[in-house]
């Protein structure tokens, strides 16, 4: 009787293992249009076989095989003390290492809000896109039911804004490109057809009816709604390379004093010179000189390309998601 029970238990255990392994072979993947795809195996070998069966990448992009086999997404070590190094002396590879430097020990609890699994247009890359890192350490975390979020760059992808609404924040969202007029999407998400810029302009990209405003002007516009002394608990910025003009203006205007956490998707042009990349690295360094503390960084896996104007056939991403908190606004 005991032997029979042992055999039955063994059979049940093996059966459960087989079922678990079988279920674990399939993962849901969605393309940019939300269409579900299936990948037959999660093993690296089968993934690469699947990837190689797809159409080849464009001449200026890396295949997912190259991305997977080329090493970690994040910079492994801080090889340079960037606080003591002039940005105009960095090589191209050192600039990439600086962009990938996560500085993660500065935040004990960092979580991603929003995002969804998507594939690139050519079907060769699969990654989470649209998520933003938020430091939830008590000194800088947004306080539910009291927090204020400014979200620039929506492109009809509301997952981050909805996550912040569920968290308990009032969200003011801005996008000049969606051809959608000002409206309250929900009781907590308020949309404005407006661009974030370094100057106040009545027009954006030949759209005469779409205004472009500085952060200080937008803040003053919204004072009656959220209060004149409010801290922006989280400022999200995905503004397609305009960040290189906007970030210096925010610092110079003093508006960074009102931003507790900042997340920026930065955009490099693969065809620029090393001099330009150094200038852009210097802009990010100016944030850290001001007192912004980096706590997260990752590259956009859809944008790994060959940089054409730098020596050494550098292959790297052109888009990076970087997040900071303001050391001057830490709660005691």
Question: pLDDT per residue over 292-314, tens digit each?
Answer: 999 999 998 778 888 888 877 78
Which pLDDT belongs to residue 217? 98
Beta-bridged to residue 190, according to DSSP, are 172, 184
CATH of domain 64-329: 3.40.50
Q: What is the mean pLDDT of the chain?
A: 81
Closest CA to 160 of 192, 112, 128: 112
**CA distance linking residue 205 with residue 176, whole number of Å:** 9
HSE (side-chain half, CA atoms, 13 Å) at 39: 25
Instruction: Work out the pLDDT band at 79, boundaries 50, 70, 90.
Output: low
Q: Which residues contact 16 (CB under 8 A, 6 or more apart)?
A: none
Average pLDDT over residues 57-66: 41
The pLDDT, as a whole number, for residue 26 is 35
pTM for the full model?
Answer: 0.76
- Counting every residue written for the chain, the total comes to 332
């Amino acid at each position: 009787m005991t032997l029979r029970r042992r055999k039955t238990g063994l059979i049940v255990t093996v059966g459960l293992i087989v079922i678990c392994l079988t279920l674990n072979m399939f993962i849901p993947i969605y393309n940019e249009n939300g269409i579900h795809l299936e990948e037959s195996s999660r093993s690296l070998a089968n993934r690469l076989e699947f990837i190689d069966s797809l159409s080849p990448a464009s001449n200026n992009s890396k295949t997912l095989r190259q991305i997977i086999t080329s090493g970690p997404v994040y910079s492994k070590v801080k090889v340079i003390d960037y606080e003591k190094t002039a940005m105009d002396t960095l090589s191209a590879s050192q600039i990439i290492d600086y962009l990938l430097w996560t500085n993660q020990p500065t935040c004990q609890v960092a979580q991603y809000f929003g995002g969804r699994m998507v594939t690139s247009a050519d079907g060769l890359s699969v990654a989470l896109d649209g998520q933003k890192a938020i430091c939830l350490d008590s000194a800088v975390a947004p306080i539910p039911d009291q927090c204020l979020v400014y979200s620039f760059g929506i492109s009809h992808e509301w997952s981050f804004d909805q996550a912040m609404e569920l968290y308990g924040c009032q969200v003011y969202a801005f996008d000049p490109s969606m051809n959608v007029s000002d409206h309250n999407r929900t009781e907590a998400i308020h949309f404005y057809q407006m661009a974030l810029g370094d100057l106040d302009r009545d027009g954006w990209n030949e759209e005469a009816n779409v205004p472009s405003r500085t952060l200080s002007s937008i803040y003053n516009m919204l004072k009656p709604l959220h209060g004149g002394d409010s801290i922006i608990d989280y400022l999200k910025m995905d503004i397609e390379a305009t960040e290189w003009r906007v970030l210096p203006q925010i610092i110079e205007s003093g508006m960074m004093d009102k931003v507790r956490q900042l997340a920026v998707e930065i955009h490099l042009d693969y065809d620029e010179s090393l001099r330009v990349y150094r200038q852009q690295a210097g802009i990010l360094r100016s944030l850290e000189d001001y007192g912004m503390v980096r706590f997260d960084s990752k590259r956009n896996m859809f944008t790994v390309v060959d940089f054409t104007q730098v020596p050494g056939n550098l292959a790297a991403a052109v888009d990076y998601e970087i997040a900071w908190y303001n050391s001057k606004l830490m709660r005691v």
